[in-house]
């Protein structure tokens, strides 16, 4: 005679989740067997060893000789170790050791150790967000993930440390404290940046360019000799971006949760992410991929900054895969059985030397590079990629007098206030256009509508293109950046001085570099 039980669990697909019914059937058989079906991947198939050991070490045993676990829907691949706990509960429920009274009310998740204790899982927040309106009462999951899951609100979150605690709760013998999180309070508490522009000595022109980039969500590249402070400047760029909204924070946290990067106990990512992959990174690691697709660095940078130091040192194919997410704000990963899209709306900040040795623009060091080697070095950045970078700024070596100065620079909070006001102007401007919230996202039609210039400005721009050797692609970029500069001064119309400043931010378009 067979015994059957049903436990509800969940799995993540992309950055969303779906309910998985864990069906357990126990029956007598001459040969003991533990079978898991429903397209289980490696970690799920191996769960039988962890589950069997955890049940035995909790003081129980499986009375039947054949255990069949079905993970439904059976046509979607299941991966990860979060099914350990629901499988164990299913077996114990079918064995009438665990009461079935509450099984229909809760999603159960957790990785089991051999001794029955629980380890953290990935995707707690996406799962809680996806199931909160599905009639599910709550989640039973490892204590380590409880605060993260509670961020979504509307669910009863039960954090447990072991299989035994989960059993005691379901049997009504023990009620763990329900986890509740004041999202607004936690949000304010976590909204602190360790890096601040007050620490930066000199480099006023570069800081101004980064302020413009932040105000209009423009991609930026910095060119300067080693030690000029390019990395230091880039690390502080998130601190001057507008504060994350709660909706943006939840979306960012969901991506990091899927990747298993939410720090235990934090629950929510309240500051804009900053990702800085090494130049040896593969294209799959950058945009995402794998047999079971995972978000890459471009998605982990969503609503934040992706910093590529030593830009020409990245492989050409790696840089080329950036073009789709930079253009569309998301990345699509296609596999034979499924296609997933991850959001990837970020500001790209690149840094590079002006030549292979790095000293062609440094007055204190002699450059040993030939014109041909400089040309070859610069050509490693393709035209299509460069076409998506609005601001090019030269970062000179810092003078000794500036380094020795005890005066602090302008703090990030002051710069962020100006950036926030400029963004508010842009939000009002683009309120009727879906998917556009900053000047950097304008295409030709909107540029012609919102970036009109007078005769003096037109003459200035034409002279710049002709005399400085600026490429045709620089025209629209200059107009968009000048629109942002005008917004920073709350000026309705683009003035010649705004255009003049924007023209200075096209270093790599000049004949000097090309």
Write out pLDDT tens, residues 452-470: 999 999 999 988 888 877 7
Closest CA to 302 of 14, 12, 9, 4: 14
Mean pLDDT of 44-72: 89
392's enclosing H/E stretch is strand 391-394
CB 320 within 8 A of CB 385: yes
Domain span at residue 162 reads 3-170
**Any domain includes 27:** yes
Task: Provide the pLDDT for residue 408.
Answer: 79
**Quick check: 406 pLDDT over 70?**
yes
* Residue 399 belongs to some domain of the structure: no
Tokens of 255: 């991506």
511: pLDDT strictly greater than 50 = no
Task: Classify the phi-psi angles of 357: left when phi > 0, otherwise alpha if psi is within -120 to 50, otherwise beta.
Answer: alpha
Distance between start and end Cα atoms, the chain? 80
pLDDT average, residue stretch 283-289 = 90
Q: What is the pLDDT of residues 137-163, one digit of tens each?
A: 999 999 999 999 999 888 999 999 999
Q: What pLDDT band is residue 513 in, cutting at 50, 70 and 90?
A: very low
Q: What is the number of domains present in the chain?
A: 1
* pLDDT confidence tier of residue 510, bands split at 50, 70 and 90: low
Rg of the chain taking only CA atoms, in angstroms: 28
In sequence order, which ranges of 367-443 are alpha helices (DSSP H)? 371-378, 383-386, 400-403, 412-429
CA torsion through residues 406, 407, 410, 412, sign = positive
Two tokens at 428? Answer: 């009002």
450: tokens are 């919102």
| Model confidence pLDDT, tens digit, residues 181-194 | 888 888 888 888 99
The pTM of the full predicted model, rounded to 2 decimals, is 0.91
How many Cβ atoms are within 10 Å of 422's Cβ, its own excluded?
Answer: 26
Q: Please, which pLDDT band fits residue 1 given cuts at 50, 70 and 90?
A: low
Residue 34 CA from chain centroid, whole number? 39
Residue 215 lies in a domain: no
What's the CATH code of the domain at 106?
3.30.230.10
Separation of alpha carbons 373 and 264, rounded Å? 48
DSSP 245: P
DSSP character string of 145-193: GHHHHHTT-SSEEEEESBHHHHHHHHTTS--PPBP---HHHHHHHH---
Burial tier of 194 (Cβ tally within 10 Å: 0-12, 13-18, 19+): exposed
pLDDT attached to residue 63: 67
Report the percentage of the chain scoring pLDDT > 70. Answer: 96
| Contact of 296 with 215, CB cutoff 8 Å | no
pLDDT, the chain, mean: 90
- Report helix, strand or coil for 211: helix
Of 3-7, 131-135, 193-197, 502-506, where does mean pLDDT reach its minimum? 131-135
8 A C-beta contact, residue 124 and residue 151: no
Least reliable range by pLDDT among 415-424, 473-482, 485-494: 473-482
H/E run at residue 294: strand 294-295
Proportion of the chain above pLDDT 90, given as a percent: 65
Non-local CB neighbours of 97 within 8 Å, separated by 6+ positions: 60, 167
Q: What CA–CA distance (Å, rounded) separates 375 from 373?
A: 5
pLDDT tops 70 at residue 368: yes
Q: Does 431 score more than 50 pLDDT?
A: yes
67 lies in some domain: yes
Q: Who has greater pLDDT, 334 or 130?
A: 130
Q: What is the mean pLDDT of residues 79-100?
A: 94
**What is the largest distance, in Å, between two alpha-carbon atoms of the chain?**
92
CA 342/CA 328 separation, integer angstroms: 11
Does a structural domain hold residue 116? yes
Find tokens 């969500």 and name the residue: 217
pLDDT tens track for 287-344: 988 777 889 999 999 999 999 999 999 999 999 999 889 988 999 888 766 788 899 9
Judged against a pLDDT cut of 80, whether residue 97 lies above it is answered with yes
Domain-embedded: residue 401: no
Task: Centre a 10 Å sphere on the Cβ of residue 266 and count the other Cβ atoms it contains.
Answer: 16
Q: Two tokens at 46?
A: 């191996």
Please indicate, yes or no, if residue 456 is contained in any of the structural domains.
no
In this structure, is residue 487 part of a structural domain? no
Select from 239, 125, 124 the least CA-distant residue to 191. 239
């Amino acid at each position: 005679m067979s015994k059957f039980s049903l436990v509800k669990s969940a799995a993540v697909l992309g950055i969303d989740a779906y309910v998985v019914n864990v069906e357990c059937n126990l029956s007598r058989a001459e040969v003991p067997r533990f079978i898991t079906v429903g397209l289980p991947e490696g970690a799920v198939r191996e769960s039988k060893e962890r589950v069997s050991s955890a049940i035995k070490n909790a003081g129980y045993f499986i009375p039947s000789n054949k255990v069949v676990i079905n993970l439904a829907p059976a046509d979607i691949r299941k991966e990860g170790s979060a099914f350990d706990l629901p499988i164990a509960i299913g077996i114990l429920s079918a064995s009438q050791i665990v009461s079935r009274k509450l099984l229909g009310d809760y999603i159960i998740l957790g990785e089991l150790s051999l001794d029955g204790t629980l380890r953290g899982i990935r995707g707690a927040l996406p799962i809680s967000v996806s199931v909160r309106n599905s009639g599910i009462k709550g989640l039973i999951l490892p204590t380590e993930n409880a605060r993260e899951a509670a961020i979504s609100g509307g669910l009863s979150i039960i954090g447990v440390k072991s299989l035994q605690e989960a059993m005691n709760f379901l049997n009504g013998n023990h009620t763990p404290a329900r986890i509740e999180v004041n999202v607004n309070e936690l949000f304010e508490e976590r909204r602190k940046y360790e890096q601040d522009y007050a620490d930066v000595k000199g480099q006023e022109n570069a800081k101004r360019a980064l302020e413009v980039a932040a105000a209009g969500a423009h991609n930026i590249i910095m060119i300067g000799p080693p030690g000029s402070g390019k990395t230091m400047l880039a690390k502080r760029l998130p601190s001057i971006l507008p504060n994350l909204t709660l909706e943006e924070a939840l979306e960012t946290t969901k991506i990091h949760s899927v990747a298993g990067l939410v720090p235990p106990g934090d629950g929510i990512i309240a500051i804009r992410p900053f990702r800085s992959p090494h130049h040896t990174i593969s294209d799959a690691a950058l945009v995402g991929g794998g047999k079971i697709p995972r978000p890459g660095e471009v998605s982990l940078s969503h609503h934040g900054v992706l910093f590529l130091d030593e830009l020409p040192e990245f492989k050409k194919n790696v840089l080329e895969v950036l073009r789709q997410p930079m253009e569309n704000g998301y990345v699509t990963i296609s596999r034979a059985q499924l296609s997933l899209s991850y959001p990837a709306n970020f500001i790209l900040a690149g840094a590079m030397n002006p030549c292979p040795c790095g000293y062609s623009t440094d007055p204190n060091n002699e450059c040993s590079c030939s014109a041909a080697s400089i040309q070859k070095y610069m050509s490693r950045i393709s035209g299509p990629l460069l076409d998506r970078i609005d601001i090019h700024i030269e970062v000179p070596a810092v003078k000794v007098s500036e380094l020795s100065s005890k005066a602090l620079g302008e703090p990030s909070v002051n710069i962020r206030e100006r950036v926030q006001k400029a963004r508010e102007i842009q939000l009002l401007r683009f309120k009727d256009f879906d998917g556009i919230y900053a000047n950097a996202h304008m295409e030709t039609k909107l540029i012609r509508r919102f970036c009109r210039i007078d005769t003096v400005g037109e003459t200035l721009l034409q002279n710049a293109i002709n005399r400085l050797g600026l490429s045709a692609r620089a025209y629209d970029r200059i107009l968009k950046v000048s629109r942002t500069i005008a917004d920073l001064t709350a000026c309705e119309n683009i003035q010649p001085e705004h255009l003049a400043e924007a023209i200075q931010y096209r270093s790599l378009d000049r004949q000097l570099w090309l």
